[in-house]
Copies of this chain bind each other. A is one copy, B any other.
């Protein structure tokens, strides 16, 4: 009975899931064995015909994944059972050249790097979609006024475009980090010396890297796990940047705020019992995925100190968390892309909410205007008092300012209204949007 489909299907779309499936891992191991044989043939270490025969046999199609896992229990890796099955598929004389000079970890680590690269290739279009949607929103809503919210309370006015530009900048930054992770082949043999190949065989490492289109490491990294931990951390950065978007969409979708809505229709976001619900389901899924990516990243970071030449537990603990962090980052990216690409933005509601406090969130602006006449300190005191009265009496700040002689002596109603106009108090918002867009476009241009 397969496990993991029930929940994974909810969090991760098919195209990402299939790139981290058991079958995909198995194929990556077989690809490693095939490429190793080919690289060794290139280097003259094994016969070319043997390499060709091995290459032909390395198709995951006919292997029994469940049996390979089960047999692995007595040795702690799936490689030995896989090799037995693989050797049965080739002639006896070829069998001796299968996995030649390699250790189980060489295959597992290289396969993990291959899986990582392949899944990341599936995640990239999702991230492209997210970034593109953010850029579109930033451009389109560069003038769309709304309340900025700090510590969950109205702060000053901002624009929806600036918010989207902030999302964009995080995605760009996190993605740069992910792109910078070195995905390298592993090939060191039983103890990292390639002893069984004899001196001078280190060239096989480079040939193998070339064949698999992975990086060539300076030295075998069986217990030097910076790249694995870095991969986990980088995925957590990407997932965290996605989660921030999900969290904002979720908060802005709340019934009382309702400034954005995720796409609905076709049963998306409905409830089993409540007919009126339109849940922000993409955001919910992205948040759930990101939380689990972090958990997985924690296991990978904790696995860094590995004993001597092969770890007794830490290495083995990496496999599933690595798979999870890849899969669920893909899930988060797809969920946010879906949410943003169909996002309903409601400028009129944003404006309504912006004015809901009767101008209170323009208090700083009034302090600025009044401060030019009375000095900032005195101005702040007067505005503090006016805010206090407005809050206590449930009136607008405008009313309190106009009714306060100390204020109205200095500022005309017109000046007060100008100071209370959110649209005139946006500072460098547009400039910041342009800078974020320009960084994004520069990145894409590379």
Contacts and interface: CB of A to CB of B under 8 A. Distances in A.
Given A3-B17, A75-B268, A75-B281, A69 B427 contact: no
A427 to B, nearest CB: 4
Contacts of A286: 313
Contacts of A431: 199-200, 202
A143 to B, nearest CB: 13
A287 B220 CA distance: 23
Given A226-B174, A251-B152, A272-B103, A320 B292 contact: yes
A279 interface: yes
Contacts of A219: 162, 165-166, 169, 432-433, 435-436
B190 A13 contact: no
Nearest to A432: B219
Contacts of A391: 276, 278
A117 interface: no
Given A270-B75, A274-B190, A363-B274, A5 B65 contact: yes
A98 to B, nearest CB: 10
Interface stretch (A34-42, A373-381, A408-416): A373-381
A334 to B, nearest CB: 9
A157 interface: yes
A242 B136 CA distance: 40
Contact of A18 (B1, B72, B226, B377): B1
A278 to B, nearest CB: 7
What is the total number of copies of this protein in its complex?
Answer: 4
A279 B151 contact: yes
Interface stretch (A51-59, A122-130, A353-361): A353-361
Contacts of A229: 236-237, 240
A65 B170 CA distance: 34
* Chain A to chain B: the 8 pairs with minimum beta-carbon distance, closest first: A9-B69, A287-B313, A2-B2, A240-B304, A150-B310, A148-B191, A4-B4, A233-B233
B151 A312 contact: yes
A312 B292 contact: no
Contacts of A158: 191-193, 309
Interface in A265-319: 266-281, 283-292, 294-299, 301-317, 319
A21 B3 CA distance: 5
Contacts of A395: none
Interface string A421-441: 000011111011101101100
Contacts of A301: 233, 236-237, 240, 294, 297-298
Contact of A428 (B2, B169, B199): B199
Interface string A140-155: 0000000111111111
A132 B230 CA distance: 23
A197 B273 CA distance: 13
Given A5-B22, A218-B436, A276-B397, A312 B287 contact: yes
A48 interface: no
Contacts of A2: 2-5, 21-22, 65-66
A303 to B, nearest CB: 7
Interface in A13-50: 13-14, 17-18, 20-23, 25-26
Contacts of A71: 9
Contacts of A280: 151-153, 312
A152 B262 CA distance: 13
Interface in A247-271: 247-248, 250-257, 266-271
A244 to B, nearest CB: 5
A153 B364 contact: no
Nearest to A220: B432
B66 A251 contact: no
A305 B244 contact: yes
